[in-house]
Amino acid sequence: MSEWLVSLEGTPTGEQMALVLALLAAFLHAVFGALQKGRHDPWLSRGAIDIWLFVLSLPIALFLVPWPEGNVWWLLLGALVIHFVYKLGMALAYSRGAFTVVYPVVRGTGPLFTVIGAWVIFGESFSLGQWLGVLVLLAGIFGLAVYNLIHIETGRETLMPALWLAVGTGALVAIYTTYDAYGIRATPDPFTFLAWFFLVTAVDFPVIAALRWRNMQHRPEIGPLMWKGLAGALVAYGSFGSVMLATRLGKVGEAAVLRETSPVFAALIGWLVLRETVGPRRIALMSLIAAGAVIVEVAG
């Protein structure tokens, strides 16, 4: 499968597959964010997810894919550091703000910096029409965040720190997207990077979650938490794996922008699953996000 995937690089079929993978990543990342926010403590949720990522990835990395060679080990170590800081920022933001406020800000900050990073590192460029699409998408994302900020009724005392954390975490999204794209492109077998990436970057939060759970006065039941972690791990494979494969097959900037349609799915999840309010204005803003993504793709 690796040889077939690599053979698609630089072809029209590869570009179409990159589009599908980026949109799949958008939907799955919104699901992933909702799972981490959910009814459980976000630190525990992320820890449970990473436990399963480690357990499921270990046999794949050891027996099913080639071992990393040369500087790939250093790339994986760098990914561990970057993703740890990112996960730290997400947990801090989710513990202080509502999902439908924090998530759009995180995702909205990322694509602009990712496009710039893709230009500097990979020599990619956007047309004037694509930049218009980026601006439309960002207007929808940040408009959604502002609307949610104005109308939120609970947790307002911690909302400003949550927003600042969300902005900083959004910058980390740009960093890890560009870095992961470099890593998967630098590895001859893309699935080698993916398998070892999920294994290596899952070693930190289980320790933090275990310490937090032990110090809690009212500890949640392990069973439901671990089932939630398993679901999150499976979604993470699809979300992070899809976008990294998309950046190998297509342009990093385009994949990053298309993935940021995830606030549309996040708002729907917040409404349908988390019972957060959605009205016509938010639907209009979500449509603006989708329109921006369409403009980026059509103008490309």
Residue 212 lies in a domain: yes
- Most trustworthy range by pLDDT among 47-56, 115-124, 143-152: 47-56
Structural domain includes residue 142: no
User: For the chain, what is the domain count?
Assistant: 1
* Residue entry with tokens 């072809």: 11
Tens digits of residue pLDDT in 121-140: 788 777 888 888 888 878 88
pLDDT 10s digits, 197-240: 999 999 999 999 999 988 888 888 888 889 989 998 999 999 88
% residues pLDDT > 90 (the chain): 27
pLDDT in tens, 1-14: 778 877 878 788 88
Q: Which residue range is the domain that position 187 belongs to?
A: 2-126+155-258
Global pTM value: 0.81
Assess if residue 98 is contained within a domain.
Answer: yes
| CA nearest neighbour of 106 among 180, 47, 32 | 32
- Residue 267 domain-assigned (yes or no): no
- Confidence tier at 36 by pLDDT (50, 70, 90): low
Q: What is the pLDDT of residue 80?
A: 95
- Look at phi and psi of residue 239 and say left if phi exceeds 0, alpha if psi is from -120 to 50, else beta: alpha
Is pLDDT of 242 > 70?
yes
* Exposed e or buried b per residue across 225-242, where buried means at least 16 C-beta atoms within 10 angstroms of its C-beta: beebbbbbbbbbbbbbbb
182 is a domain residue: yes
